[in-house]
């Protein structure tokens, strides 16, 4: 394999504590090595440029059945909005929900090498794995959606934590999943009865368990197994004015819970797209930001992390396993709606949505997303996402970086709103002078995400011996551009993206692809005949598929890269 030496770049690697020092990075046989070990090979001149590890996205919806339904139900998403085929790439289609090829290339252009698909309906996991295979360049992991799963609801209600752990381990192995995702705990099951759970104390119909019990039980299971990532939660009551109280109630459940893992992860709970959960007010009329209340709590709790879910003012396609929420959204905007029940496991819904800067609520949502990042004290626990495609497409990350790094750019947008005065009254964004630096951006986009996912030994760092995943950006930390647009451009089109030692992007153009990998967690647990029996019984009684057909076949899993967890020792 080829060798490179990346010379004179300003290196940002929060996992190694490197804060923009000039440092040469060597690449040999697809791994990062000390620069002195590279004797021959190409020199990449990175002088005046920023060098970071390849980006790691902690929460995105880029593969799987609901993503695909989003593509199918929105042919207009492709009309006049698809990128033209370039060089040796495949055809790229779609905007808010791009095709698999467009997704892989677009991530690579931004310097990302890893994406965590945040919602895999277990029953549909083969579809996820097929799309992972078709997505070029980036490595992908997928988290099975639990939290409304009949097995878990029953085990947790009966406080059978060992059984719940054994079942969870079985499911991760059966679906080649990465960790535990929990969406609207209890609420998506209640949706099957035409109901919802909007607080953590609403009982789930029939199962008679509360969301609080589900969340606590899942955290316990996660730490009992010692999984690489923590429980990844989309709390109850998403998107409703006044919901920050539910969010705080949810986060407080993590108090006193201790981590147990060998992956260097510190948190026991990751709250995803926190923007959608930080709303104050009693209705859309007095809707306002609760970012201060939420961040006051998050900043002092060391064992929780979150990602933003920033609104980007795009025409997008919302999709979530939170079925009742999508029904609610469709009743607001009257656009087309897809709804699905995944038997025994979860639900989902899809609705197009236009975040229009002329609408006050959208502007306030936009401000809240940025406020959360600007109020955060530890960006290792605060991650950049748009909950792609829910608050905006992932390829707007560079635009969010621009807003976070430049008060000028966010203020000029804030003051251009039709309802600017009302938006300023309802938010605190205007009073926040903070401008994030490149080190904090590196924390939010690779180091922190890799650490919280528990994969920092493989991704998110330029440590010698790790896979050579490197992003080189056209931005000089000693001479930051005065035009904020140049920040956005630099992060949208890398000078180079290197994936596993291969230059895949050069000057913003995809020049090559490399094999991508499926990252999953292989969990060994002691034999548990009760759970084995329960699984056989549920499949015989309720599932429409046979147990043998449910488990993902090995040939479905593309280039597996298993993380080993053994609780039997």
Partner 1 sequence: MSTVTITAKGTHELYLEAYNVTPDAFAGKTAVEIAEIECHEGNLKSKLGEYFDIEGNGGATAAETTIVVRGDCKKIKRIGQQMTAGEVIVESDCDMYTAGWMKGGKVHVKGNVDSFCGIGMEGGEFIVDGDAQNHVGSAYRGDWRGMKGGLIHVKGNAGSDIATFMRGGKIIIDGDAFIHVATHAEGGTVIIKGSVESRVGGQMVKGDVYVYKGIKYMMPGFKYVDDVDAEVEGETAKFAHYIGDLGERHPKRKGEIVYGNIYLKK
Shortest distance in whole angstroms from residue 70 CB to partner 1: 11
For partner 1, which stretch binds (CB under 8 A), given 11-19, 72-80, 214-222, 561-569? 72-80
552 touching partner 1, by CB under 8 A: no
- Which residue's CB is nearer to partner 1, number 7 or number 78? 78
74 touching partner 1, by CB under 8 A: yes
- Which one of 11, 15, 46, 73 is in contact with partner 1 (CB under 8 A)? 73
- Which residue's CB is nearer to partner 1, number 90 or number 538? 90
- Which residue's CB is nearer to partner 1, number 71 or number 396? 71
Count of residues interacting with partner 1 (CB under 8 A): 10
User: Residue 72: how many CB atoms within 10 A of its CB?
Assistant: 11
- Which one of 45, 76, 425, 532 is in contact with partner 1 (CB under 8 A)? 76
For partner 1, which stretch binds (CB under 8 A), given 97-105, 185-193, 240-248, 330-338? 330-338
Three-state secondary structure string covering 126-188? HHHHHHHHHCCCCEEEEEEEECCCHHHHHHHHCCCHHHHHHHHHHHHHHHCCCCCEEECCCHH
- Which one of 43, 79, 540, 547 is in contact with partner 1 (CB under 8 A)? 79
Residue that has been written with the tokens 């920023």 in this structure: 50
Q: How far is CA 490 from CA 80, 297, 485, in A?
A: 25, 34, 9
564 touching partner 1, by CB under 8 A: no
Shortest distance in whole angstroms from residue 362 CB to partner 1: 18
69 touching partner 1, by CB under 8 A: no
Shortest distance in whole angstroms from residue 134 CB to partner 1: 22
Question: CA angle, 294 as apex, 290 and 296 as ends, to 5°?
Answer: 115
Is residue 145 within 8 A of residue 121, CB to CB? The reply is: yes
1 touching partner 1, by CB under 8 A: no
CA distance 554 to 550: 12
Report, in this order, helix, strand and coil percent for the chain, each rounded to 5: 35, 20, 40
User: Residue 56 pairs with which residues in a beta bridge?
Assistant: 114
- Which one of 42, 201, 262, 336 is in contact with partner 1 (CB under 8 A)? 336
334 touching partner 1, by CB under 8 A: yes
Q: How far is CA 545 from CA 405, 410, 530, in A?
A: 50, 51, 21
Half-sphere exposure at residue 247, Cβ-oriented, CA atoms within 13 angstroms? 31
Question: CA angle, 508 as apex, 502 and 509 as ends, to 5°?
Answer: 65
Footprint of partner 1 on residues 234-293 (CB under 8 A)? none
Helix or strand (DSSP H, E) at 234: strand 231-234
Binding site residues, partner 1, CB under 8 A: 73-77, 79, 334-336, 352
């Amino acid at each position: 394999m080829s060798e490179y030496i990346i010379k004179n770049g300003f290196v940002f690697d929060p996992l190694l504590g490197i804060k923009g020092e000039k440092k040469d990075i060597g690449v040999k046989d697809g791994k990062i090595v000390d620069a002195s070990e590279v004797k021959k090979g190409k020199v990449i001149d990175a002088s005046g440029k920023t060098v970071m590890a390849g980006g790691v996205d902690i929460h995105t919806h880029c593969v799987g059945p609901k993503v695909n339904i989003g593509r199918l139900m929105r042919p207009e998403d492709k009309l006049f909005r698809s990128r033209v085929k370039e060089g040796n790439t495949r055809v790229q289609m779609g905007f808010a929900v791009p095709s698999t090829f467009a997704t892989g290339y677009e991530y690579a252009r931004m310097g990302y090498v890893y994406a965590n698909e945040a919602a895999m309906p277990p029953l549909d996991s083969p579809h996820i794995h097929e799309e992972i295979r078709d997505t070029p360049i980036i490595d992908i992991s997928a988290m099975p959606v639990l939290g409304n799963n009949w097995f878990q609801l029953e085990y947790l209600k009966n406080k059978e934590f060992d059984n719940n752990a054994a079942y969870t381990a079985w499911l991760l192995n059966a679906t080649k999943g990465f960790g535990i995702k929990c969406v609207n705990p209890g609420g998506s099951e209640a949706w099957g009865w035409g109901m919802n759970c909007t607080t953590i104390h609403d009982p789930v119909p029939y199962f008679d368990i509360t969301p609080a019990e589900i969340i606590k039980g899942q955290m316990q299971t996660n730490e009992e197994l010692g999984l690489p990532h923590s429980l990844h939660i989309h709390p109850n009551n998403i998107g409703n004015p006044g919901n920050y109280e539910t969010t705080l109630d949810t986060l407080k459940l993590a108090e006193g819970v201790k981590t147990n893992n060998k992956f260097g992860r510190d948190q026991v709970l990751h709250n995803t797209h926190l923007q959608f959960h930080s709303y104050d007010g009693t209705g859309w009329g007095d809707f306002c930001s609760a970012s201060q209340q939420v961040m006051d709590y998050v900043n002092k709790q060391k064992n929780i992390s979150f990602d933003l879910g920033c609104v980007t003012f795009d025409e997008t396609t919302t999709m979530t396993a939170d079925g009742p929420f999508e029904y609610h959204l469709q009743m607001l905007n009257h656009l087309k709606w897809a709804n699905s029940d995944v038997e025994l496991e979860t639900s989902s819904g899809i609705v197009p949505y236009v975040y229009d800067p002329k609408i006050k609520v959208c502007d306030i949502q936009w401000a809240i997303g940025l406020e959360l990042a600007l109020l955060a004290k530890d960006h290792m626990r605060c991650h950049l996402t748009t909950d792609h495609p829910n608050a905006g497409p992932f390829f707007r990350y560079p635009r969010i970086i621009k807003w976070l790094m430049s008060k000028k750019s966010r203020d000029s947008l804030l003051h251009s709103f039709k309802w600017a005065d009302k938006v300023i009254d309802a938010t605190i964004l205007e009073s926040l002078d903070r401008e994030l630096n490149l080190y904090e951006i590196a924390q939010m986009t690779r180091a922190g995400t890799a650490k919280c996912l528990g994969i920092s030994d493989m991704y998110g760092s330029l440590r010698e011996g790790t896979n050579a995943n490197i992003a080189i950006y056209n931005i000089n930390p000693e001479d930051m551009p005065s035009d904020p647009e140049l920040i956005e451009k630099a992060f949208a089109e890398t000078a180079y993206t290197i994936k596993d030692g291969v230059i895949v992007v050069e000057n913003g153009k995809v020049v090559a692809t490399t094999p991508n990998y499926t990252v999953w967690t292989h969990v060994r647990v002691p034999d548990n005949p009760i759970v084995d029996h329960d699984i056989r019984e549920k499949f015989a009684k309720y599932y429409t598929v046979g147990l043998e057909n449910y488990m993902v076949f090995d040939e479905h899993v593309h280039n597996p890269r298993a993380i080993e967890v053994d609780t039997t020792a």
